[in-house]
Each structure stands twice: as structure tokens, then as C-alpha cells.
């Protein structure tokens, strides 16, 4: 079967660093995506990993370990506008993108 796990909620302080973890078990693997979703809005693409290692994009970085079925999204210099849900999604052997239930991040001043 396919399973993607993320923590349900996290809190952090403005200016801090937060790491959101994702573990997965899927039939095949052709990449892992992170999406951001503000309340009442559509998910928007943040990052893609298919090889092991760290991908950095400004304040956001994403890491992948295929052997461990593990990824994390690292958010640095947190801002209030980063309060949102962060969705981990995996593409297996097909064109389907399977999502975890998301991690709701609240940033406090």
C-alpha cells in the first residue's frame, strides 16, 4: 500500500528555523514534492526532490533520503506569512501524486 506521514501541527516563533518531516512508503518512487497551502487557498508548489540530498531555494530547503523513505522541509528566518499548511506528496510508478494529510504550521510573533 501507500502511506505518507507528517506531523499534524507545529508551532514556531518569527525569525526561527523549523523542520517539517515526512516519511513515506510507496510503490515505486519518482520524486517527492512539497506544497504550501494557506487557509482557504489552493496548494502551491514549493520544491521537488528525486535524488538524495538537500535542495535549497532561498529561505526554504528540502532534503531527501530514498533509502530511509524520509524527507524534510526546512524553513529559515520564519515570517508570519509562513503560517500555512505544508503538504508532502510522492509520485510512485504512475502519474499519480499522492499527498500526506499536511502539517499546519503556526508562526507566532
* Residues in contact with another protein, shown as a per-residue x/- string from 43 to 82 under the rule CB under 8 A: xxx--x-x--------------------------------
Region near another protein per CB under 8 A, out of 16-24, 62-70, 72-80, 92-100: 92-100
**Least separation, in Å, of the C-beta of 56 and another protein?**
16
Between 70 and 99, whose beta carbon lies closer to another protein?
99
- What would the grid cell of residue 52 be? 538524495
Distances (CA, A) of 104 to 63, 74, 100, 107: 19, 14, 12, 10
| Bridge partners for 21 per DSSP | 72
Q: Is 87 in the site for another protein (CB under 8 A)?
A: yes
Three-state secondary-structure class, residue 2: coil
Q: How far apart are CA 77 and CA 91, in angstroms?
A: 30
**Contact with another protein (CB under 8 A): which of 41, 52, 56, 77?**
41
Residues 6+ apart with CB under 8 A from 69: 23, 24, 25
Residues of this chain that bind another protein (CB under 8 A): 30-31, 33, 41-45, 48, 50, 87, 89, 91, 94-102
Amino acid at each position: 500500500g501507500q502511506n505518507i506521514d507528517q506531523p499534524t501541527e507545529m508551532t514556531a516563533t518569527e525569525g526561527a528555523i523549523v523542520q517539517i518531516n515526512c516519511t513515506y512508503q510507496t510503490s515505486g518512487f519518482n520524486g517527492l514534492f512539497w506544497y504550501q497551502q494557506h487557509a482557504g487557498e489552493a496548494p502551491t508548489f514549493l520544491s521537488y526532490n528525486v535524488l538524495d540530498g538537500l535542495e535549497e531555494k532561498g529561505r526554504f530547503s528540502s532534503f531527501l533520503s530514498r533509502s530511509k523513505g524520509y524527507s524534510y522541509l526546512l524553513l529559515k528566518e520564519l515570517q508570519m506569512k509562513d503560517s500555512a499548511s505544508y503538504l508532502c506528496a510522492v509520485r510512485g510508478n504512475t502519474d499519480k501524486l499522492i499527498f500526506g494529510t499536511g502539517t499546519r504550521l503556526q508562526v507566532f510573533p
